[in-house]
Every structure is written in structure tokens, then in C-alpha cells.
Amino acid sequence: MTSQIEPQPGVMDIALYQGGQSQLAGVANVVKLSSNENPFGPGDAAKNAYGKAVHDLHRYPSTDHAALRAAIADIHGLDADRIICGAGSDEVISFLCQAYAGPGSEVIHTEHGFSMYRISALAAGASPVEVRERERVVDVDAILGACNDRTRLVFIANPANPTGTMVGGNELARLAESIPPQAILVLDGAYAEYVGGFDGGAGLVTQRDNVVMTRTFSKLYGLGGLRIGWGYGPQGIIDVLNRVRGPFNLSAAQLATAEAAVRDREYAEKCRIENARLRSWLAEALTELGIPSDTSCANFILARFADPAEADACDAFLKKEGLIVRQVAGYKLPNCLRITIGDESSCRRVAHAVAAFKEARE
């Protein structure tokens, strides 16, 4: 009997997501710099909250996430009722596509944009539309040129991954003002905490009814292993997203740990400052070796090599030295390597290894 079981249109067009490599066969003392993780891990307050949560594992978590939403609102000066929490900001992105996109509609993302935008659009049955960038920076005019009456969502990461570049507030405001009336501008602020004094687009969300901001606890707060994110948007949109959100999508341990983490401002600021210091040091060290990078506003740098062959060769050399970075050919950047900013020892190992690689090729 021939099976007639078929997935929904678009699902088979999704390439399986490849996370950053974490192990190297036969290599000891491996340093993972491929997933933009905080090398210092979570702070003590978050660790203590997670430890205490073990005593209530038999209890269902809250369905409204009220305590975590209140903490986020308190720290960032937002309206708690306009916050939604998810299993990483990825889940909030998925909610947006599920609720607002579908067959016959289009979802815009940029050529070097985060791969989950395309994946979530296809999973919802929508058509992803890729728009060019200008020198690895989002081009607002190119996005507006791609908009039409089928456009439902426009995704922008700011700072962007994997480029680390940013779009200015005036340009974002112009984009929000100019997209079609049925479309939502989504500002992905996964790396917003690394930019001192930056609100991730929250001010624009407050001013308008067509902008949503997403954020995560996976980067600066060092909680990637727990998968916690959140979104902030107009009340009407958040109400819609809560209708597709599972009632128990976050565990009690996730909620308690994230609440402790967001309130621990001293630790978060310490991590931000240290990242900025080491990011500048590593970028300068690589530039002196003839490997430039755009000014990064995140916790990584995008090192640019002469061509794809040199990038591949350097990646292989780094692996032999126990250093795992991220190839980004899948993001249409085959001549680049994305290098997470680790601790000081890791950054110095990278610089030393790249110097040895360049010397060996001369």
C-alpha cells in the first residue's frame, strides 16, 4: 500500500538547523566559540534560583508568567501586560509567523539574517522573501522595495547576527512608518543588551501599533541551556500571540531563573563591559594580521578573509588548535568566520592561532 501521508507545503523546503559545533574528535582542551554563548555563564543569583526550583518540580508552572513579566517590565521600564514569554525568542518568532503569516502571504528577511526567520515562515506555510543588504548592513530602502500587499512580517535583527552591525533608530522609524498597513515590523534584539544604553527598539514599539520587539536570556544572561525569551508589542498583537502560546510553555525553573537573572543588574553590566573590552582587543588583533571586521555591537566578530578558501583553511587550522568558531557560508558569507568573544584566555588563543596560520601561509 502506497502511503499518502505528506507534510504541509513548505515544510520540506526547510533545511535542518545546524547548531554551533561543540566537540572535536581527538582534541583536548577544546574552546567553543561557535554559538555566541556568554563565556562566564549565568550569575550566582540565577544559579541559586535554579537550585531552589528543584524542590517544586512536581508542581505545574504558572500559565501567565506574571512574576517574570513584572521583573522584565520593572528593569526595562515597560508595560508588563504587553510582554509575552517563550522558550527562547525563537518561539516568539514562531508565534508571530503562526498567528500572522500563512499560505499566500510573504515574510521578509535580509540576506544575512538569522535563519529562523525563513524556517518559521516556511513552517507557517508562508513564502520567505530574501532582501539584499548593503555591505553587511540592513538596507531599509531595499526592504521597502520588496514590500507588497502580501507582506505580513518584516524581520530585522538589531544588532544583526552574524554580522554584528546595526541600523540606526531614525532608519527603523522610517521603516515602521513606510511598511504596508497589514505588516508587522519585528525587531529581534537578541544582542541588544551588549549595546550600552540601547532599548532594543522598545521606544518604537511604544509609539506604534505595528512594531514588535523580541529579546532573549540566552546571550548576556548566560541561560542558553534553559531556552527563555520574551517579546514586547502592542496589546492587541500580544493578546493574539497568547492565543497560540501553550499554557505551560515555560517551566517553573525557567521562570524563576530568568527572573533572578534579569534583576541581577550588576552581573549583567559586568559581562557587558568585559565583552566590549575583549571584543575591541580581538578585533584590533585580527586587523593587525590583515583580517578586518565590521564594528561589532554584539558578543562576536565577523572576521573577513581574502576568499572562501582562506576562511576554510583558517577554520581547519583553528580546529587543530582546539578552537571551534562558526563558518557562515550558509548566511551567504563564505569568506567569513564568526568568532564568539570568549574570556581573555580564549581571545588570546584565537589571536595567537590566527597569527600562526597567517605565518604558515607566507
The enclosing domain of 313 has a CATH number of 3.90.1150.10
- Digit-coded pLDDT (tens) for 116-166: 999 999 999 999 999 999 999 999 999 999 999 999 999 999 999 999 999
Cα 336 to Cα 303: distance, rounded to the nearest angstrom: 5
Q: Which of 171, 143, 154, 137 shows the shortest CA–CA distance to 211?
A: 154
Q: Are residues 37 and 51 in the same domain?
A: no
What's residue 348's pLDDT?
Answer: 98
- Digit-coded pLDDT (tens) for 245-279: 999 999 999 999 999 999 999 999 999 999 999 99
Q: Is 139 helix (H, G, I), strand (E, B) or coil?
A: coil
Q: Among 236, 263, 290, which residue terminates a domain?
A: 263
pTM for this entry: 0.93
Q: Are residues 130 and 216 in the same domain?
A: yes
Strands (E), 105-233: 106-110, 127-131, 133-134, 137-138, 151-157, 184-188, 211-216, 229-232
Q: Among 213, 240, 263, which residue terminates a domain?
A: 263
How many domains does the chain divide into?
2
Q: What is the CA radius of gyration of the chain?
A: 21
Q: Are residues 289 and 338 in the same domain?
A: yes
- Digit-coded pLDDT (tens) for 74-106: 999 999 999 999 999 999 999 999 999 999 999
Query: What torsion, rounded to 10 degrees, do the Cα atoms 207, 216, 141, 185 define?
Result: -50
Q: Among 247, 263, 279, which residue terminates a domain?
A: 263
Handedness of CA 288, 158, 11, 85 (dihedral sign): positive
Q: Are residues 140 and 200 in the same domain?
A: yes
Instruction: Determine, yes or no, domain membership for 228.
Output: yes
Helices (H), the chain: 44-53, 66-76, 88-100, 115-123, 140-146, 169-178, 202-207, 235-244, 252-263, 265-288, 308-320, 344-361
